[in-house]
A and B are shown apart, each in its own frame.
Chain A
Amino acid sequence: MKTDNYDVVVVGSGIAGAVIAKTLTNAGKKVLLLEAGLQAGIALDPEESYKTYQGYLETFYEAGAKVPNSPYPDLKDAPSINILDIVKLQKSNTPSTVGYLVQKGPVPFASDCFRGPGGTTLHWLGTTLRMLPNDFKMKTVYNQNVDWPLTYDELKPYYEMAELEIGVSGDVEEQKYPDIPKDFFGKDYVFPMEKIPQSYLDKEIAKKTDKLKVTLNRKEYELSCISTPQGRNSTPNEDYKYGSIVWDPSKKKLALKTQPKTYNPDGSLWDPYTGQRCEGNASCVPICPVQAKYNALKTLKKATLENLEVITQAVASKINTDDHSGEVTGIEYKIYKHKGSPEYTTATATGTIYVLAASAIENAKILLASNVGNTSDQVGRNLMDHLVLLTWGLTKEKIYPYRGPGSTTNIPTFRDGAFRSEHAAWISPLDNWGWSWPTFSPGSDVTNALNEGVFGKALRNRMNDLVTRQFLLHFEVEQSPDAGNRVTIDPQYLDAIKNYRPVISYGVSEYNLKAFEASKTVSDQIFAANGIEDHTVYNPVTDADYVTYKGQGYTFRGAGHIVGTHRMGFTKDDSVVDKNQRSWEHPNLYLVGCGNMPTLGTSNPTLTMTALTFQAAENILKQLEQ
């Protein structure tokens, strides 16, 4: 569908862009979608999508370091952040210009994302926890961080839409979080699919961890271990009643529409009967071979295609505005002909409303490059991530890791509580994949044994004894919004087609450091109760994100939860967008994605961001139909 009169121009085909494109085209609006990645990746038909995806899978098999972006194209014309480019910052190498980000420190930003069709949902883990009511009012309740201009209750109907769109498997009854009201989930609410089975490892650890009493800062807490809701396919829940999300033009609202038949899990792009159940590939990050895990291309496939025009290899670079009205008049983009080509042509996309859905960092970059929407001086600021403190050890008995989805159980005990006045909250997922993240096990275990001269049956036995007992625990700490943690641009740092590279300043506040100290205290008690031999090492020399607090060193890692660079707020002076996710200054410009989130909470942000995006889609439809 080509026209000169698009209702909406959307930048980015990740989950936020795909939700906007689907919702609006289903409601009859004409949408132009600009995607920076390669044409091949956008294919939705069976043959081409299969071919592209098998290419990703083969690239993953052949990758030396199987990091989150390893299966996917890294383009000179639209580079992705690669965690392999994170280096320890010292005076001599700061700012670090290794890779796409320019890192000014004091410590390097530790997360990546994927710029290409489907966005980072191609390599997300798939955890779909909601945020907690107090997460939305941190300033009021705990005098920390900021409040949201939205409450949990306002977002709740949109959470239900997000859970349908993503296809969440989980058990509502088991979702007991600290301090939540009885009606946290609606009456009789269930997820579309039954919970993903919890791992053998989860059940063994829970035996001595569920109901374990731990002491933290002289206060006693009783831990719990609960199943984790996630966006991967499981057995359909017979009691789930919704089938689609539709625009009701008379009420001017989006609504969940019931369907009489049982929920049918969305299979792969190439075959609806492939991927209807998680098959236990244990590679959700970086790639689910059968697409049992949700990705945004599934949403894009449900768009009304006759209302959708997609231009790929089109990198949005500048927003044009009318000086008088403040209206956006077009988005300039650069089209590169083929992968790696330094040659490009420039064009301008025009429509009635414009939506940036290019990821938190890219959205901020485009706004800064255009000098648009930044009266508040908040664009690019408050960059956040979950700061992941890992602890690892060996259990006495075999627990058989490296099987199943990355995590199927979490300890929610420290997601909320009075302690948030003093230090940050966290969630503790139990990890199903051994020590692979911190130590590159089991490959490094083979190397270590060989270096000791171990071979033959002794080697096989050593690997069996060691790898089957590897336990890894996460403490995913909520990073506070800090104005100094920010994305900026600088004309001396450009990519191959002369777009800005993000320049990142990043550090960790004392409020977060205190949470590392507290986490380790809790970890020690969990390990002791389970008889786990602690093998955790935080290396001051080699670990890029090594920090100290009260004389103790901690290494944190990035969670891939890139949040907060164009925050939503109460006034045009404190934020970039209003509660409708619309630019305060530019009435036909919406920003969507994790960049809108004023704070992070302790849940992986994709579900909340998707809920917000449905709300944004509703607001856009309202504005178009005024």
Chain B
Amino acid sequence: MTIQRSEKDLFLEISVYLTGFDEAELQGTGMVNTYYQAVLSNNTQPDVAYFFEMVATILQQNEGNEDALNKAISIHLMPASAYSGMAMNIINMWYTGNWGQNVVSGQAYIQGLIWDAAEAHPPGAKQPGYGSWAIPPL
């Protein structure tokens, strides 16, 4: 029996492949719900529906084969012409906390994944402590 996954579940699952961060890291931001809502509020309803339809299809068709999945993402989701650039915008949101030029929220800025990718921290938050900058990141 196949369990019908919700759009929000699909959002989290595809975000793992879009961002290169695993599910625990994404959940650890505390932003999954906020970002899913941001996807809904920044896109047209048809774009959202078609996008998640495609997401469901490519996740199902390429289950267990990451290379094939990445290829499918590259072809069907990543082009700027696909779903008004939704995949690129989702990745940018996870990395920077912005949807396009707009900051989703103060918390979104703080949770930007770019700072983890860079082995740093968001300026003005998650401070690593006195003198931590004098040695390589832990």
Q: Residue B32 at the A interface, CB < 8 A?
A: no
Q: Residue A63 at the B interface, CB < 8 A?
A: yes
Q: Residue B1 at the A interface, CB < 8 A?
A: no
Residue A199 contacts which of B17, B118, B134 (CB distance < 8 angstroms)? Answer: B134
Interface readout for A432-472 with B: 1 if CB under 8 Å, 0 if not? 11000000001101110010010111111101100110000
Q: Residue A279 at the B interface, CB < 8 A?
A: yes
Q: Residue A404 at the B interface, CB < 8 A?
A: yes
One of A239-247, A281-289, A326-334, A366-374 at the interface: A281-289
Q: Residue B30 at the A interface, CB < 8 A?
A: no
Q: Residue B76 at the A interface, CB < 8 A?
A: no
- Please give, as numbers and ranges, the residues of chain B lying within 8 Å of A198 by CB-CB distance: 134
Q: Residue B84 at the A interface, CB < 8 A?
A: no
Q: How far is the CA of A415 from the CA of B99 in the complex (A)?
A: 44
Tell me if A280 and B128 are in contact (CB < 8 A).
Answer: yes
B16 vs chain A, min Cβ distance (A):
8
Interface readout for B6-23 with A: 1 if CB under 8 Å, 0 if not? 000000000001111100
Q: Residue A277 at the B interface, CB < 8 A?
A: yes
- Please give, as numbers and ranges, the residues of chain B lying within 8 Å of A280 by CB-CB distance: 127-133
- Please give, as numbers and ranges, the residues of chain B lying within 8 Å of A66 by CB-CB distance: 123
> For residues 79 through 96 of chain B, which have their beta carbon under 8 Å from a beta carbon of chain A?
79, 87-88, 91-92, 95-96
Residue B115 contacts which of A58, A197, A402 (CB distance < 8 angstroms)? Answer: A402
A268 vs chain B, min Cβ distance (A):
14
Number of A-B contacts (CB under 8 A): 150
Residue B134 contacts which of A58, A197, A401 (CB distance < 8 angstroms)? Answer: A197
Q: How far is the CA of A234 from the CA of B134 in the complex (A)?
A: 14
Tell me if A402 and B120 are in contact (CB < 8 A).
Answer: yes
Tell me if A400 and B136 are in contact (CB < 8 A).
Answer: yes
One of B38-46, B53-61, B105-113 at the interface: B105-113
A351 vs chain B, min Cβ distance (A):
40
- Please give, as numbers and ranges, the residues of chain B lying within 8 Å of A58 by CB-CB distance: 106
Which residue of chain B has the shortest Cβ distance to A282 in the bound complex? B123
- Is chain A's interface secondary structure helix, strand, loop, or mixed overall? loop
A392 vs chain B, min Cβ distance (A):
16
Tell me if A450 and B117 are in contact (CB < 8 A).
Answer: no
* A447-B114 contact in complex given A64-B101, A280-B133, C-beta closer than 8 Å: no
- Please give, as numbers and ranges, the residues of chain B lying within 8 Å of A63 by CB-CB distance: 103
* A450-B92 contact in complex given A281-B125, A456-B73, C-beta closer than 8 Å: yes
A35 vs chain B, min Cβ distance (A):
25
Q: Residue B48 at the A interface, CB < 8 A?
A: no
Q: Residue A294 at the B interface, CB < 8 A?
A: no
- Please give, as numbers and ranges, the residues of chain B lying within 8 Å of A61 by CB-CB distance: 103, 105-107, 109-110, 124-125
* A400-B110 contact in complex given A197-B133, A432-B133, C-beta closer than 8 Å: no
* A200-B118 contact in complex given A450-B88, A456-B17, C-beta closer than 8 Å: no
Residue B118 contacts which of A57, A64, A459, A468 (CB distance < 8 angstroms)? Answer: A468
Residue A289 contacts which of B17, B103, B120, B124 (CB distance < 8 angstroms)? Answer: B124
Q: Residue A403 at the B interface, CB < 8 A?
A: yes
B65 vs chain A, min Cβ distance (A):
14
A-B contact pairs, 29 of them (CB 8 A): A57-B124, A60-B124, A61-B110, A64-B101, A197-B134, A203-B134, A278-B130, A279-B128, A280-B128, A280-B130, A280-B132, A281-B123, A290-B127, A398-B136, A402-B120, A402-B121, A432-B133, A442-B115, A443-B114, A446-B91, A447-B92, A453-B78, A453-B79, A455-B20, A455-B78, A456-B20, A459-B95, A463-B95, A467-B118
Given contacts A402-B123, A443-B96, A456-B17, 15 further A-B contacts (CB under 8 A): A60-B124, A61-B109, A62-B105, A64-B98, A197-B130, A405-B133, A443-B98, A450-B91, A455-B70, A456-B19, A456-B70, A456-B73, A460-B117, A461-B20, A468-B118
